Chains A and B, each alone.
Chain A
Amino acid sequence: MEIRVQEAPFDFGAECARFAQDREGIGAVVTFCGIVRNDGGEMQAMEIEHYPGMTERALRQIAEDASHRWTLADVLILHRYGRMQPGETIMMVATASAHRADAFAAADFLMDYLKSRAPFWKKEISADSAAWVAAKDTDEAALERWG
């Protein structure tokens, strides 16, 4: 299990390749990458604040919960903080398992929990204003399907 919280950009392709290589008994790797959405609007940058210490603990807890629910060979969660431009990678998760069903379900679970249980806050910066992104009711509702 690997948890990384960093300001620096990361190479999604290189991280996926490294995560997938040289594993025995693995038939499936599922990856997800979150990107600062470039919707052609006014947003110039995204700033992500986090709670050092609690962030790593919360991500580790979410990864451990996933490892108890499904049979996983490995889990990677990488999440950035600080200022990012549209199109930049924000975060990624990767799961490795013998079969794809476990890897897919675990990655989906990680993303649902990470959105509303890991202490990150997004702020959208435009030329003349800045606004904190509001949590959505659907983010909280998404947790219910995992029981």
Chain B
Amino acid sequence: MTLEILYFAWLRERIGLPRETVTTQAATVHDLIVELRARDERYALAFFDLSAIRVALDQELADFDADLANVREVAFFPPMTGG
């Protein structure tokens, strides 16, 4: 499965990329995070505290245990601060 992963705000800065294409067998968002954390220190640091992170699947807010089947775009970002 190929996923487009997007990062915003301090996650983007910490990882050093706004987006990347990833080939993965991860079944859930949490599985994907475990894979990303194992890559290197930047990812491990960015995904250290999941309470500070939100996730959207195909542009809809989702939970960390959400299924990645048929998902094309995963976005990770901090809690939103609009308005």
Binding site for B on A (CB under 8 A): 34, 49, 51, 53-54, 57-58, 79, 90-91, 111, 114-123, 132-135, 139-140
The contact of A111 among B8, B60, B83, by CB within 8 Å, is B83
Interface hit among B27-35, B39-47, B74-82: B74-82
Would B59 and A91 count as touching, CB distance under 8 A?
Answer: no
Whether, in the assembled complex, B61 has its beta carbon less than 8 Å from a beta carbon of chain A, the answer is yes
| Additional A-B contact list (20), CB under 8 Å, known A49-B9, A120-B80, A132-B10 | A51-B56, A51-B59, A51-B75, A51-B77, A54-B56, A54-B60, A79-B82, A91-B83, A114-B82, A114-B83, A115-B81, A115-B83, A119-B56, A120-B83, A123-B9, A132-B81, A134-B79, A135-B78, A135-B79, A135-B81
**Interface size, chain B (Cβ < 8 Å):** 17
Interface of chain A, main secondary structure: mixed
Interface residues in B8-35 by Cβ distance below 8 A to A read: 8-10, 12
**A72–B31 alpha-carbon span in the complex (Å):** 43
Q: Is B5 an interface residue (CB 8 A)?
A: no
Q: Indicate if B6 sits at the interface (CB-CB under 8 A).
A: yes
Contact B8 A51 (CB under 8 A): yes
Q: Given the complex of chains A and B, what is the CA–CA distance between A114 and B6 in angstroms? A: 21
Q: Which of A51, A57, A91, A133 contacts B6, CB < 8 Å?
A: A51
Contact with A along B57-83 (1 / 0, CB 8 A): 001110000000000000101111111
Is A49's CB under 8 angstroms from B8's CB?
yes
A134 close to B83 (CB less than 8 A): no
Residues of A within 8 A of B60 (CB): 54, 57
Contacts A91-B83, A132-B78 given: A117-B56 contact, CB under 8 Å?
A: no
**Can you list 10 A-B pairs with a CB-CB distance of less than 8 A?**
A51-B77, A53-B59, A54-B60, A54-B75, A118-B82, A119-B8, A119-B77, A120-B83, A121-B80, A132-B9
Contacts of A123 in B (CB 8 A): 9
Q: Which residues of A contact B77 (CB under 8 A)?
A: 51, 119, 121
Most buried by B among A51, A57, A119: A119
- Which residues in A have their C-beta under 8 angstroms from that of B83? 34, 90-91, 111, 114-115, 118, 120
